[in-house]
Chains A and B, each alone.
Chain A
Amino acid sequence: MAFLAITALSLAFTKDLFASVMLTGIYSLLSAAFFVLMDAVDVAFTEAAVGAGISTILMVTTLTMTGRYENRKLHHPVIALSVVVVTGVMLVIGTMDMPAFGSDMAPAQVHVGPYYIMQSGEDIDIPNVVTSVLASYRGFDTFGEVVVVFTAVIGVLALLEFSRKDNQVGERPAPMFQHKILRIVSKILIPPIMLFALYVQFHGEYGPGGGFQAGVIFASSIILYAMLFGIEQTRKAVSMPVVKILAALGVLIYGSVGIVSMLNGGNYLNYSVLAENDITGQHVGIIIIELGVGITVATAMILIFLTFARRIGKTNSNSSTKEGTA
């Protein structure tokens, strides 16, 4: 906790944007550790993969476009500060009547929580309760989250994608072309990363993990490739139209599971009707929707990174057009 506070404070004071990006990465990693302490392994996993991994990469990419240092402030953020103080005070007041930390009588522990823990074995029969809540009990929320990711992709593509015409940026040598060691090591590393992603994907029912984390890990292997061998090279290996279709397909897979269960006479996203046996049905449903999640998240991250990174080539080649980061 102390580390968290220190990181947050130094984050607020630093003027070097690059340092602040690194600090947010550290912040995420620390909070991931914190989540592990709280026994929330799945959350920690996600935080480590998304917060410390992907979002740091994306922010660094942005920085290469905008420049490293903050502009000098023109006004004193008095209003902002007072809003923050009021919010903080409110939060502290709010904590005063909270149930004691770790209390087993806390409302969150005695209402639906126990049901999930006690019944999940019987209803769904997979060891990881978090997965059963995410994928089945509250499966529709997870579907919503996938759609949020999809929406983000649409936003990025809509604003930053080039049309075919101004595509002639010209091939630039990969930024790290000269680092032979890096290239060889990463070539060795990329296949295991992908394999690990698949493991996380299909092992989500038994251990921490699932579609979200797997998708991010898979995407990071592609992004690593792109950083070392250049964007154009990656675009040759990974066809953009296919990736786009896959991004949409992931959402459709998830959604159509719901439709199928509706056609089989159950409610939307009721996996029990997918097979003869309720529990098998649940398993089938969860595996398929996790696959949908994984596909959309992975392709979404790849798409966002590649469109961002292409922008660098563009801004470097004609630096007169300065684009705001949207």
Chain B
Amino acid sequence: MIQHLPILQVIIPLLAAPICFILKEARLVRWFVLIANAMAFVISIMLLQQVNLHGTLVYSLGGWEAPIGIEYRIDELNAYLLILVTSISTITLMAAGKSLTKEIPESKITYFYIAYMLCLTGLLGIVATGDAFNVFVFLEISSLASYTMIAMGNDRRSLWASYQYLIMGTIGATFILIGIGLMYMMTGTLNLYDLAERLPEVEHTKTVFTAFAFFLVGVCLKLALFPLHLWLPNAYAYAPSIATVFLAATATKVAIYVLLRFIFSVYGFEFSFTHLPLTEILVSLGLLGVIAASIVAIYQTNVKRLFAYSSVSQIGYMILGIGVGTKTGLTATMLHLFNHALMKSAIFLALAGVVYRVGSVNIKAFAGLGRQMPWTMAAIVVGGLSLIGVPLTVGFVSKWYLVLALLESNMWPVAVLVLVGSLLAIAYIWRIVEVAYFKPALQNNQAYKEAPLAILIPAWIFVIANIYFGIDTSFTAGVSEKTAELLFGGVR
């Protein structure tokens, strides 16, 4: 069975979804989904082991060798992301049982789990595949499933948010499809590695440039790069909490993975950074994102929305790292990708706890929560410190690498602005801390109890990971450096 691991990774959650549809009973489905997720997690760990032992794994679907058929190709980068996605989705699911009962009508819970599984399938499929059109197909699966999850939020506005995301997401997907179509037209192949070999021949045609541009814009819409982020704040704010945790921690990360794959592995560093002013574009947009989104975040009254804007700014940091175009920069991006997933999972899960007890995430409702729900608020505070980049948290590690990369390439003004971004983060985190710890509880409120353990434990798993990987950076930094090297070495 070992040689089938790459496909099992995607197939298990995929087949679990229709089985859930037949099972129907929400409690049964819950356990089933959890088991399927845990299996996917175990497989992803085994995959990384295999990759470390044997190097890149290639799996031809249908027995047809690429480029005739579709192949799955797992190298260190994919394996790393697969672990990230499956681990977060598994831990998040542990909290789902409690959190969903408060936020979604009982008859819909099964559908939510199915959509969740389908979304996971889509994300894993995008990461594992080595075929451009296959990326698009699985992108559609994950997007459709995430529109569904978002629209299931109990706030009426979630429908509008989902609709906004649907329109923007569809435009993005269409752009990606146009890009892939043009690439196929110029090379006659859809396999990523075959593309990488055949693109240099037609490198100077305008069609290839257009293909690249369309693809880039499409993916940037998906990963919510400023100013294409408009769908994200509402989508995160009004979705059910569990969906927010899952999407915030994984969906944008997978989009960044796609971006990296195409910029570095398919088109190659040469094309992306010397023929095109990619450094200027990415660095300026990344910076704008960091500053603008942080400032907007300060003025939010809905805490979920506040952290959604903070996500937009954190994505800015990752894009900055790519834009620098050096190995250190890329290491910073990879690190931040992992670290940001940890921070946001911790924070949004803790917020799920707040929603469970308090029923609101308006900043006013947080008054006095610091004493009433100490563990939940502590999770948010640690996550917040990590967002700011305080030493001993993961946020510090990735910021450190980013600033280092910027200084290496003599972009010290940018480095200064990155630090300003951190200051802005202090501002929006402080607002929450102030209300939660220094304001007395509202008079008419009954005392809220601590969030249920089912939510608190997963949240604290992430919090501890935040601190652990902040102190012991050997695993994350090691893998990030390796993958950065891999991307720079190119597959060529």
A residues lining the B interface (CB < 8 Å): 90-91, 93-99, 106-113, 115-116, 136-141, 144-145, 147-148, 150-152, 154-155, 157-159, 161, 163-164, 244-245, 247-249, 251-252, 255-256, 258-259, 262, 266-273, 324, 326
Contact = CB atoms under 8 A, between A and B. Distances in A.
B213 interface: yes
Interface string B94-112: 0000000000010110011
Given A97-B205, A145-B137, A154-B118, 6 more contacts: A109-B188, A110-B188, A154-B111, A247-B18, A262-B4, A326-B151
Nearest to A96: B206
B134 A94 contact: no
Contacts of B4: 262, 267-268
Contact of B140 (A97, A107, A148): A148
Contacts of B182: 94
B361 interface: no
A248 B115 contact: no
Most chain A CB within 10 A, of B67, B134, B148, B209, is at: B148
A159 B151 contact: yes
Interface of B: 4, 7, 11, 14-15, 17-19, 21-22, 59-64, 67-70, 105, 107-108, 111-112, 114-115, 118, 121, 125, 131, 133-134, 137-138, 140-141, 144-145, 147-148, 151-152, 159-160, 162-163, 178, 182, 184-189, 198, 202, 205-211, 213-214
Given A147-B121, A158-B112, A159-B152, A267 B59 contact: yes
A155 B187 CA distance: 36
Contacts of A157: 111
26 contacts: A93-B206, A94-B182, A94-B210, A99-B186, A107-B187, A107-B188, A111-B67, A111-B188, A138-B133, A140-B134, A144-B141, A147-B121, A147-B141, A148-B137, A150-B118, A151-B141, A158-B115, A159-B148, A159-B159, A163-B105, A164-B107, A255-B18, A267-B7, A269-B61, A272-B63, A324-B160
A269 B178 CA distance: 28
Contacts of B213: 90
A222 B64 CA distance: 38
Contacts of B11: 255, 258-259, 268
B76 to A, nearest CB: 23
B18 A252 contact: yes
B137 A144 contact: yes
A115 B148 CA distance: 40
Most chain A CB within 10 A, of B152, B163, B185, B202, is at: B185
Contact of B125 (A107, A144, A251, A266): A144
Contact of A138 (B19, B70, B111, B125): B70
Given A110-B188, A152-B144, A158 B62 contact: no
Given A94-B207, A144-B134, A154-B148, A266 B63 contact: yes
B138 A144 contact: yes
A109 B59 CA distance: 26
Contacts of B188: 106-113
Nearest to A110: B188
A91 B217 CA distance: 13
Contact of B148 (A99, A158, A161, A256): A158
Contacts of B17: 147, 150, 154, 251
Contacts of A273: 63
Contacts of A324: 159-160, 163
A269 B71 CA distance: 12
B68 A112 contact: yes
Contacts of B62: 136-140, 267-271
A255 B68 CA distance: 21
Contacts, number: 187
Most chain A CB within 10 A, of B64, B144, B162, B214, is at: B64
Contacts of A161: 107
A144 B10 CA distance: 11
Given A90-B210, A159-B148, A148 B141 contact: yes
Contacts of B205: 97
A148 B59 contact: no
B36 to A, nearest CB: 13
A82 to B, nearest CB: 14
A326 B159 contact: yes
Contacts of A262: 4, 7
A216 B378 CA distance: 54
Contacts of A116: 68
A244 to B, nearest CB: 7
Contacts of A255: 11, 14-15, 18
A157 B210 CA distance: 39
Contact of B114 (A108, A154, A269): A154
A151 B18 contact: no
B275 to A, nearest CB: 14
A110 B107 CA distance: 54
Nearest to B183: A107
A219 B279 CA distance: 51
Contacts of B125: 144
Contacts of A152: 144
Contacts of A266: 63
Contacts of A245: 21-22
A108 B184 contact: yes
Contacts of B152: 158-159
Nearest to A148: B140
Nearest to A296: B18
Contact of A147 (B70, B118, B208): B118
A326 B162 contact: yes
Given A99-B185, A151-B145, A255-B15, A270 B134 contact: no
Most chain A CB within 10 A, of B68, B152, B208, is at: B68
Contacts of B70: 138, 140-141
Contacts of A148: 137, 140-141, 144
Nearest to B191: A112
Nearest to B137: A144
Contacts of B140: 144, 148
Given A99-B185, A145-B137, A158-B115, A248 B148 contact: no
Nearest to A285: B62
Contacts of B148: 151, 154-155, 158-159
Nearest to A123: B64
Contacts of B145: 151, 154-155
A94 B211 contact: yes
Contacts of B114: 154
Given A145-B137, A267-B59, A106 B185 contact: yes
Nearest to B104: A158
B219 to A, nearest CB: 16
A232 to B, nearest CB: 21
A109 B21 CA distance: 42
Given A247-B21, A255-B11, A155 B134 contact: no
Contacts of B144: 148, 151-152, 155
A184 B78 CA distance: 59
Most chain B CB within 10 A, of A109, A159, A163, A249, is at: A159
Contacts of A151: 115, 118, 141, 144-145, 148
